[in-house]
């Protein structure tokens, strides 16, 4: 595989991730779409398709960071007001994406469900929200229940954007040989 083919493949992957990250800005204008975003799929997609693991983590996390900065600016927060817990979730989601060895509907759906569960179980820990919920198992349960509508939107967002990203790239790989990874070309 030539360097040009590798670069072109990576550029396409980066472009698709950047497009998906830009879609996060829709929630600013359409707040009923809260959490209907491609964050989980961006992480899974990067993990599944980048052959070099450092790119699998760097590109999605950087795209999410830049889109977070833009979203925070739109909401008049500090651009750097980020949650380290959220980035831990994103990193775990990328790792889950690296476990996808064969891209198909079942594997991507299972990975998406795992990504949403990671987000739900970590981001809804009551101590992350000060005094909003008691710092007890009961408070954790209350937080999890209150988060169900947001997590439902996340799973729906993952489904729609998953079809676009994973489906789109798989279709493109069938049409354009240079988008296939080195191991796929050797077959």
pLDDT in tens, 107-125: 999 999 999 999 999 988 8
Residue 27 reports pLDDT greater than 80: no
Q: Which of 73, 42, 71 is nearest to 58 (CA)?
A: 42
pLDDT in tens, 127-185: 777 778 888 898 888 888 988 888 888 899 899 999 999 999 999 999 988 787 765 43
Residue 1's pLDDT is 47
Our CA dihedral for 43, 46, 49, 50, rounded to 10 degrees, sits at -140
Distance from C-alpha of 78 to C-alpha of 70, rounded to nearest angstrom:
10
Residues 6+ apart with CB under 8 A from 13: 45, 46, 49, 50, 59, 169
pLDDT band at 38 (very low <50, low <70, confident <90, very high): confident
Residue 35 reports pLDDT greater than 80: no
Distance from C-alpha of 26 to C-alpha of 179, rounded to nearest angstrom:
29
Residues in the chain: 187
In the chain, domain spans: 3-186
The answer to whether 93 and 56 have CB atoms below 8 angstroms apart is no
Residue 59 reports pLDDT greater than 80: yes
Residue 183's pLDDT is 55
Distance from C-alpha of 160 to C-alpha of 42, rounded to nearest angstrom:
12
């Amino acid at each position: 595989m030539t360097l040009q083919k590798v670069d072109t493949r990576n550029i396409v992957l980066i472009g698709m991730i950047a497009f998906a990250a830009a879609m996060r800005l829709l929630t600013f204008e359409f707040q009923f779409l809260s959490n209907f975003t491609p964050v989980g799929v961006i992480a899974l997609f990067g993990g599944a398709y980048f052959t070099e693991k450092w790119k699998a983590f760097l590109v999605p996390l950087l795209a999410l960071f830049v889109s977070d900065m833009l979203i925070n600016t739109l909401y008049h927060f500090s651009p750097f007001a980020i949650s380290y817990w959220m980035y831990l979730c994103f990193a775990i989601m990328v790792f889950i994406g690296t476990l996808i060895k064969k891209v198909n509907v079942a594997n991507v759906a299972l990975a998406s469900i795992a990504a949403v569960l990671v987000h739900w179980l970590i981001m809804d820990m009551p101590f992350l929200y000060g005094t909003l919920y008691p710092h007890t198992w009961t408070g954790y349960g209350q937080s999890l229940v209150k988060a169900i509508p947001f997590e439902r939107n996340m799973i729906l967002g993952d489904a729609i954007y998953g079809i676009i990203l994973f489906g789109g790239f798989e279709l493109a790989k069938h049409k354009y040989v240079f988008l296939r990874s080195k191991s796929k070309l050797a077959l």
